Structures are given as C-alpha cells and as structure tokens.
Structure 1
Amino acid sequence: MSETTVRRNRTSPAVPRVPAAGPQPVTAVLGPLGLFTVLLGAALPLIDFFIVNVALPAIDADLAAGPALLELVVAGYGVTYAVLLVLGGRLGDTAGRRRLFLIGMAAFGLTSLACGLAPTAWTLVGARVAQGAAAALMLPQVLATIQATTQGPRRARAMSLYGATAGLSMVAGQILGGVLVAADVAGSGWRAVFLVNVPVVILGLVLAVRAVPATRSDRPASLDVPGTLLLAVTLTSLLLPLTEGRSAGWPLWTWVSLTVFPFAAVAFYLTERRADRLGRTPLVPPSLLRLDSLRRGLVMIVPFSIGFSGFMFVIAVVLQQGLHMGPVQAGLALVPMALAFFAASLAGPRLVGRFGSRVVTAGGVLQAVGIATLLVTVRSDWSGLGLAEIAPGVAVAGLGQGLQLPVLMRMMLSDVPADRAGVGGGVMVTTQQSALALGVATLGSLFLALSPSTGVRDALVVTLLVQLGLIVLTALLSLRLPRVLR
C-alpha cells in the first residue's frame, strides 16, 4: 500500500492522512519454524535487559565497578537500544528484514561474547553499548516480518505469541540470571549470563537462514538523517541523566541534559511533521500516530512498562541485599510470576474474542490485587519473608500482566499498513524500551535513595505504592479502548 500524497493549497495547511489498513497481500508465508526463530530473536534483547539485575553484585565484586559504572552497565545497553530501534526498523524496510535480522543476531552474539570476556568494568560498559545497538538492528525485523508474512487469525495468533514472549522474557531473564550466576559454570561466574547467548545465537542464525522468509517494504524510504539525530538527542538527554544522575551525585551535565530534553523533543516533532506534510517519509511519521489503536496503546504501554521494569529491578535488590537471598533464590521468587504470565498469555486470545478490550482492564485489576497483596505481606511479615510468602502476590500480578501486555502489543500494530510495518514496530518497541529504562531510572532511584534513611522495607513499600498508582492509571486508560479488538 503506497503512502497517500497530500495536496496543499494557499489557504489551508495540509493534513497528513494514514492509508486505510485493509488486508495486505502476503507474498511470503512465515511457517511455525520461522515464527519460532523470530520469537527467539525477540526474546534475546529483553532477556539481556533484565538478566544483569541479579548479576550486578557479582560484577561489582569481580570488576570493582562501583555504583555509577554498574548503572552504566544497565543504562548503556538500554539507552542505545531505545535510541536506535526506529532506525533499525527503517533499515530493515529498506535493505531487507531477514538480512538485517541475520546481521543484528550475529552482532548480538559477538557483542555478548565481548561482554562475557570483558576484563574491566569500562570494557563491559562499551560492550553493552554495542550489544544494545545490535539488539536494535535485530528486534524491529521480528514485528515487521510477522506483519508482512501473516494475515487474519494467523497474524493475531503470532502477535499474541510475540506479546507473550516479550513479557515472559522480561521475567525469565532474572530467573535465568540467578541460576547462571549461582551455577558458576566452569568458573565463569557472572560472565555466563552473557556467554549463554553465543550458542543460542548460532542456533538462531542456522534456523533463520532456513525458515525466515525474505521481505522488504514495497516502497523503501530514504534515511531521515535529521529525524534520526534529533530522536537520539531527545532520548539520550532524558534517559542518560535519569539513570546515571543519582549514582554520580547529580553533576552539572545531568541538569544541562535534562534542560535540553524538551527542546530536542519539540524540534524532533516539528521536523517530523514538516517532512510528513511535504510527502517525505520521516523516521517517525506523525500521521502514523493518527491510528487510534497505535496511539492509545502507546499511551498505555508507558505506565505499564515503567512500573514493570521498576519492580523487577527493585525486587532483585530487595531479595539479595535486603533479605540476603542467593541469586538462585532471588530468581526462583519470580517463577510464580512467569508461570502465571505464560498461562494468561495462552488464554488471552480466547478471552479477547469473548470479552474484547475488557480483558485488559481485568488484567490491570488483577495486577493491582497482586501488588497490593505483596505490599500487605511486606508490611506485616518482613522478618519472615521468604519464597512462599512472596509467591501469591507475584503470581496474581503476573496473571494480570499476562492479560495486558500481549493484547496491547497485538492491538497496537493491528492497523499499521504492511509497508510501514518496520517503522510501526520500531515506534512501539522504542516506546516500550524507553519506558522500561525510565522505570529502572525512576522507581529504582527512588528505592535506592530512600533505603539508606528509611530502611529496605519502607523503601520497598513506597516503591510498591508508586507502582500501584501506575497500574491504576493503566487500568483506567484501558476503559477508553474500543470494546472489540481485532
């Protein structure tokens, strides 16, 4: 489907229009093995965003990193990943999605190897930045390939599986990280959380060559250099000072960077809107955001992801440093959440067919109940808090999350035209990834700032109350979704 050319006259400005999203012709079909392969590619970047949470104490002990560099190990990956995702989608639309998927996956394997072999903390930070860039090349091709090679019920099922994979990967990352650190395979310690990617990437490359069809946009657009640079400045000026500011003591550069953010954001929007009106293809077409399903989903994914990632970071710190659990126990504490999320993800498509968007609202209510249960447990039985006491709260929260995230992701891309699949997926994942990074930066910093003065328990209570507010906001926003979801 080609982009609509906008007519303009002297008396009224042009109003960009989004092409109608009818059935798209599918020239290549994504089979079960191909779907498994691209979902494997979707899982790796999200697992690696969370897998380091339980490995940070071991990294600090081995490399003498210190708080500032430890946060850069997390932020360097997350910020680079978020900044380059939309560009990765555009490059896939232009150069071919399978080609970029293969290049991105190979680069992800090499940079994971570099992380695992890093001799110093600064070397690890540099390798994590490169790993984030590789992930940004790989991940957008997953969504674009699904959009371009499936239709109707097959696309709905594939998108539901993508959402399930994304959510499960975020929880499984911390579980896997705890197991690998404790296992100390061949004396590798924390390095195993990165080295484990290498054989997985080799398998993924072999499968991708055999099973992932080659697709690209029918009308590939040229690179939007001003938009790319302005998006990079916008996201970096917000995410980097928020993630590094607390541990660095809020030096002058953090305040200068935060001051730059609103100006960069406005300049980015105006530049993209002008390009859209002139009939060019900007990096993030404002006309794409006129799609109601995408726009409303993006608004909801922000508070959901901030609360989710903030919780995952804080709970890892609480379990290991506050409750003095080992990495395996800290990982096992989240198993009920992972199992409940997976079960809800499988049931989600049937429930949506029967109850529509109210499934998302019900998921928000369940997640709120789970976090409230955990909050009451923490306040009433802190000294006796263990895996059994944590399990009910995290299980119910996971059930609620599983009813929200896969449905939201499926809905957001349901109306995106096939020739904009790469940029549409890039916009969605960039928003999600930026919110995940914000969650660690805001809720994580709040917890770490409060815990020295109030104690770990009270700092956790405050953090859970903030997350509860974000969950309530997400549930209220879900009431504005159309009742019937495609």
Structure 2
Amino acid sequence: MKTLWYQAGGGRIVGCVTATSASPLSPATGAPPVAAGRPALGPLGLFTVLLGASLPLIDFFIVNVALPSIDRDLAAGPALLELVVAGYGLSYAVLLVLGGRLGDLFGRRRLFLAGMTAFGLTSLACGLAPDAWTLVGARVAQGAAAALMLPQVLATIHSSTEGVRRARALSLYGATAGLSMVTGQILGGVLVAADLAGSGWRAVFLVNVPVAVAGLLLALRTVPETRSDRPAPVDVAGTLLLALALTTLLAPLTEGRAAGWPPWTWVSLAVFPFAAVAFWRVERRLDRRGGTPLVPPSLLDLVSLRRGLVLLLPLCMGFGGFMFVIAVALQQGLGLGAIASGLALVPMAVAFFGASLAGPRLVRRWGTRVVTAGGLIQGLGIGLLAVTVRHAWPDLSVGILLPGMALAGLGQGLQLPVLFRLILSEVPGERAGVGSGVMVTTQQASLALGVATLGSLYLGLAASAPDAALPATLLVQLAMVALTTLLSLRLPRSAG
C-alpha cells in the first residue's frame, strides 16, 4: 500500500489516494499517476484529446469533395474556392507555434477548451454562411481556432504520460492524424450526398458542432491541466516574422494559379526568403542571449526532431497534394459523385488503420526501419496507381483503384505514426508546447504546400491533357516518396 498525491485544475495539490502498488489510480483521470506531482492522462482523457486532434485535420480535407457543391450554391468561382481551402490552411499554419506557446504559458487544458469552443462556433458560422466571402472569413477564423486547440493535444500527451504509455499515446495520435486526413474526404462525400435536411455542403461544417460540444463536456472531466514549469512571455518579433514568412510563401502558391499569377504573388514570393532569414536570425540572437524565442534554434540540436522534421516535409506535401488531386480528378475529371470519390479512399483508410495498429509492435523489433519499409510500400502503391490510371483512363472505378490505394495507405500507416513519435521523443516536458507546435506547423505547412504545388500541376495539365494529368502528378508524388525513403535511412534507429 502507498499514498499517492494527485493534482487537478491548474496543478494545485488537492488530495491523495491510497492504493496498492499493483493498481494505483489517479482519481482525477482514472489512470496511473505519471510521477510525483504530475497529473496523468487516463484512457478517456486520451480519447478526448485525440477527438480534438481529429477535428482540424478532418476539416482540412472534408471540404475537397464539397467544393463543387459550394461553387454551385454560392457562385464562388475558382479564386474564392481556393480561398475556402487556403484561408483555413494559412491561418492554421501561421498560428500553430503561437498556440503551443500560449498553452505552455496559460495552461494546455484551458487553451484546449478555448480552442474547442471557438472551433465549434466557427464551424457553425461556416455552415450558415450566406455567401462565399462570409464562408472564406469563417474558414480563416476556424483555422485560427484549430491552431489554438491542436498543439495542446501533443503537449498534454507529452506532459502527462511516460514510458510505454507515452509511446502508445503518440502512436495513437499518429494513427488518428493519418486516418483523419483520409476519412475527412470519405465523410465529406457521404454528408454531401446525404443532403441531410436539405443542408447539402453545409453539413460538412455543421457536423462539427455536436462533436465540439461533446468534446468540451468530456474535456472538463477527463483532461488534466498541465503547463510549463518555466513559462516565458510570447516572442512578439518572432511570431510576426514567422507569420510573414509563412504567409508570403503559402498565400501566392495557393491562390496564384486561380488568380492568374498577378504581380502581388511574385512580390510575395520574393519577400519570403528575406522574411525567413530575418526570422531565423532574430530567434538565434534571442536564444543566445538566454531569452525564450518562439522557435528555439537549440531545439533543432535534437537529432530525432531535426531529421524527423526534414522527412515530414516531403511526406506531408505528397500526402496533402494526393488527397486534393484525387478528389478533383475523380469528381471533375471523371464525373464521379461525392460518394464514389469518397469510397475510392476506403481501402487506403482501412490499410492505414491496420498498419497503425501493428506499428508499435514492429517498431519495438525493427526501430525506425519501419519508416523505410513504409516508404517502399507506399512507393509501390503510388506507382501502381500511376500505371493503372494511365492505362484505364477514363474507365476508372473504385475496384480498379483498390490495390494501389490499399498499398499506399499501408505504407503511410507505417510512416506517419512512427515519425510523430520519433520527432517528440527527446523534447523535454517544459518545451512540450513549442515542440508540438513546431512539428504540427511543419505538417500543416507541408500539407498546404502539397495542395498548392501538386494541385496546381494537376489543374494546369488537366486543361490541355486530361488523360495525362493524373499519372504525371502521381509520378511527381512518387519522386517525393523516394526522397522520404532515402531520408528515413538517416533517422535514429530507436523511435523513443
């Protein structure tokens, strides 16, 4: 028998419990305490934060299959449709690191609750938008809410779990992230086709509202409060420069093609390298002076984080671009409905889920070589899809695409969860918020870059050679997969 002190709320000791050494429990969360004086995240709390993690990622992709319906209903046009996607992704990416820092400063549970509330309200605003510009504004606000909520998920996991429980939780986060990206488009297709109560495309946003309410009620009871032991003030200069750098890169790439590449897009791209260099110099100077920069350059001294982020960039670029292109190609190129284009992704989702479940056991035996194997399998799947599309176009069907989709999903499921776990494996607890913010910002910016680059490539080719557009785009993604596979050989053998 032993007495265990536990925490709740803002970290204040509020009581104790006596338990046997075989089954100690934290009354606040229903889980074993992590360490003396630290709150623990129980199974229901983990489910709650993973639910919060799934919402922003689902919403990045759920819109893809709803775009034709939005265009018909709101007469949006190509430029505004791009903004519906890009506005969300841009505000989301720009504010993620700041969201992580605010969680370190004010408490991650508090920011998670605030972000969940804001996400539900902005989803309601999207679903009720009377015109295209209102929808764009609501999507920008929705992205900002997501940036407030999502970094708290990983930071909470990192700060309230240890050892095997942390490894399992991070693997589940990776599985949730990947499945959310795939199932977002499947769910979008089902909701648009179902036309619930005549809501049409609006259902893809309104469905978030009851989920957010449920998440709030669960979080109030099951998610412990954590924060940095040494909270630091917000790095205003670093925040503004990072926002400038990401905006000047992502805005012209996502909006340029639809807008006809006006002068502002080229000016913006020219400003990007100067903004990026200025950001890095300001952060490095502040770090050397003993301050607390928004993105501490010393954080990149962690080999697992640095090499993992380098690999995450092409992996998520390819993933984001593929999901966007396949939705457009199946609906606009082949005239398939929302349901059929969503069903085409089911084999990918099922294979990803299976690989995610097997991943932890495989990692214990083979380490990060599982990521290399995943890259090879994904490459085989993408290559098979390219060959299938090239020879079967325009007589494609869900059945013909199934083998390639399943292999691609299997490979991605062996990569993404392991990579998330590896990137955060060496990040100290007091930097959990900023470490999570940096990783998720890289992921989100890469997804947006993939949509912008591969999407622009496909749409440009589709105008002149519709039968060659999708195979050519898939071959470019295959080159990205080859790059990720090579980069995986430089990862530390252990995933933490």
- Give TM-score, length-normalised by structure 1: 0.94
**1:352 matches 2:367:** no
Match of residue 271, structure 1, among 275, 282, 286: 282
Q: SS in structure 2 opposite 1:54?
A: helix
Partner of 1:6: none
CA distance in 1, matches of 2:125, 2:81: 17
Any conservation in 1 of the 2:421–2:495 contact (CA below 8 Å)?
no
Please give the residue correspondences for 1:154-233 in structure 2 after superposition, counting only pairs within 5 Å.
Answer: 154-233=165-244
Any conservation in 1 of the 2:54–2:177 contact (CA below 8 Å)?
yes
CA distance in 2, matches of 1:121, 1:357: 45
In the TM superposition, residue 25 of structure 1 has moved relative to its aligned partner by 6.3
Any conservation in 2 of the 1:34–1:212 contact (CA below 8 Å)?
yes
Cα deviation digits, residues 56-77 of structure 1 (max 9, x gap): 0000000000000000000000
In the TM superposition, residue 324 of structure 1 has moved relative to its aligned partner by 1.1
CA distance in 2, matches of 1:37, 1:157: 15
In the TM superposition, residue 384 of structure 1 has moved relative to its aligned partner by 2.5
Partner of 2:316: 305
Letter of the structure 1 residue corresponding to residue 70 of structure 2: I
Please give the residue correspondences for 1:425-464 in structure 2 after superposition, counting only pairs within 5 Å.
Answer: 425-455=436-466, 457-464=467-474
Match of residue 43, structure 1, among 36, 45, 54: 54
Identity percentage of aligned residues: 75
Cα deviation digits, residues 393-421 of structure 1 (max 9, x gap): 01000000000000000000000000000
Q: SS in structure 1 opposite 2:396?
A: coil
In the TM superposition, residue 24 of structure 1 has moved relative to its aligned partner by 7.8
Partner of 2:348: 337
CA distance in 2, matches of 1:441, 1:74: 10
Cα deviation digits, residues 73-114 of structure 1 (max 9, x gap): 000000000000000000000000000000000000000000
Any conservation in 2 of the 1:175–1:335 contact (CA below 8 Å)?
yes
Q: Which has the higher contact order (CA 8 A, sep 6+)?
A: 1
Letter of the structure 2 residue corresponding to residue 477 of structure 1: L
Any conservation in 2 of the 1:24–1:417 contact (CA below 8 Å)?
no
Any conservation in 2 of the 1:26–1:149 contact (CA below 8 Å)?
no
In the TM superposition, residue 485 of structure 1 has moved relative to its aligned partner by 2.3
Partner of 2:44: 33
CA distance in 1, matches of 2:397, 2:346: 13
**1:401 matches 2:429:** no
In the TM superposition, residue 377 of structure 1 has moved relative to its aligned partner by 0.6
In the TM superposition, residue 484 of structure 1 has moved relative to its aligned partner by 2.5
**1:483 matches 2:487:** no
CA distance in 2, matches of 1:195, 1:179: 14
Q: SS in structure 2 opposite 1:30?
A: coil
Partner of 1:16: none
CA distance in 2, matches of 1:344, 1:25: 35
Any conservation in 1 of the 2:304–2:422 contact (CA below 8 Å)?
yes
Match of residue 401, structure 2, among 368, 390, 412: 390
Q: SS in structure 2 opposite 1:347?
A: helix
Size of the alignment, in residue pairs? 463
Letter of the structure 2 residue corresponding to residue 465 of structure 1: L
Structure 1 residues 323 and 102 mapped into 2: Cα distance closer, same or farther (>3 Å)?
same
**1:372 matches 2:383:** yes
Any conservation in 2 of the 1:342–1:402 contact (CA below 8 Å)?
yes
The CA RMSD measured in Å over matched residues stands at 0.9
**1:262 matches 2:276:** no
Match of residue 152, structure 2, among 138, 141, 144: 141
Match of residue 261, structure 2, among 250, 269, 289: 250
CA distance in 1, matches of 2:135, 2:394: 36
Any conservation in 2 of the 1:365–1:475 contact (CA below 8 Å)?
yes
CA distance in 2, matches of 1:222, 1:143: 21
Is there any run of 5+ residues in structure 2 with no aligned partner, and where?
A: 1-33
Is there any run of 5+ residues in structure 1 with no aligned partner, and where?
A: 1-22
- Give TM-score, length-normalised by structure 2: 0.93
Letter of the structure 1 residue corresponding to residue 161 of structure 2: T
TM superposition outliers: structure 1 runs of 4+ over 4 Å: 23-26
